[in-house]
């Protein structure tokens, strides 16, 4: 099975000077076009300290010049792996537009204030679900999960303020590289990657961005 991509050229002259501005431009195009059910769905890949990887789909909840934010149970597999190894990769697979965005960087927890602010925007049922699920742990049955949820629903009925779970919150991925991939026919894809340069040898990776073109 092979798809013959039909798309416009994507060249250096098309790029914004800042990769987060470029991401915002592509994200708006995907979101407004209505071709994807959840354009903010991304594959988050983490690894243990000895290099054993794992991946899962997570929803991006915020992005700005500081990075990309998602929320999870800190006791989940990704939460535990990020606590031990902060290196992470994000993949936005926008296949209907023959586009991908690949981010590599490091993740750190957001503040509890930022977590609480987002938690309050979640639907009531999703707030209860964050309490009901000890994410990534073994459970005996779905009935056990439903029972936990129903107990919480009785304790915190609709309209009742649900506290933020202590082991639940956000991660902000601070990018070190951001690659914009535009598919073309004959595998002659455009791959333009922003790389964060080191600022005066500080080792912080807080310098300016340079752009590289990669072979497809």
Q: Catalytic annotation on 56?
A: no
Query: CA distances (Å), 93 to each of 43, 50, 106, 172, in order?
Result: 8, 27, 20, 20
Structure token digits, residue 8: 């416009």
Task: Kindly give, in sequence order, each residue whose CB lies less than 8 Å from that of residue 196, ignoring residues fewer than 6 positions away.
Answer: 175, 176, 177, 205, 206, 207, 208, 209
pLDDT, average across residues 6-11: 77
CATH number of 12-121+167-214: 2.30.110.10
Query: Which residue out of 25, 66, 187, 213 is catalytically annotated?
Result: 187
pTM of the model: 0.90
Query: CA distances (Å), 184 to each of 88, 103, 213, in order?
Result: 28, 21, 15
Percent over 90 (pLDDT), the chain: 81
What pLDDT, in 10s, does the model give residues 52-61?
A: 999 999 999 9
194: nearest Cα among 213, 215, 178: 178
What pLDDT, in 10s, does the model give residues 142-199?
A: 999 999 999 999 999 999 999 999 999 999 999 999 999 999 988 899 999 999 997 5
């Amino acid at each position: 099975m092979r798809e013959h991509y039909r798309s416009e050229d994507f060249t250096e002259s098309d790029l914004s000077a800042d990769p987060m501005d470029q991401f915002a431009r592509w994200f708006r195009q995907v979101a407004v076009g209505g071709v994807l059910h959840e354009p903010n769905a991304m594959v988050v890949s983490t690894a243990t300290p000895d290099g054993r990887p794992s991946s899962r789909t997570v929803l991006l909840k915020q992005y700005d010049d500081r990075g990309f934010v998602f929320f999870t149970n800190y006791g989940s597999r990704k939460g535990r792996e990020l606590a031990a190894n902060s290196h992470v990769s994000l993949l936005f697979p926008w296949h209907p537009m023959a586009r991908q965005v690949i981010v590599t960087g490091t993740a750190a927890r957001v503040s509890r204030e930022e977590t609480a602010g987002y938690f309050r925007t979640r639907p009531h049922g999703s707030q209860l679900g964050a309490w009901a699920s000890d994410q990534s742990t073994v459970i005996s049955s779905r009935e056990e999960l439903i029972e936990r949820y129903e107990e919480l629903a009785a304790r915190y009925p609709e309209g009742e303020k649900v506290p933020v779970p202590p082991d639940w919150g956000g991660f902000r991925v601070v990018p070190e590289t951001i690659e914009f991939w535009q598919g073309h026919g004959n595998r002659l894809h455009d791959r333009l990657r922003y790389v964060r340069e080191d600022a005066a040898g500080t080792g912080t990776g807080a310098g300016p961005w340079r752009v590289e073109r990669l072979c497809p």
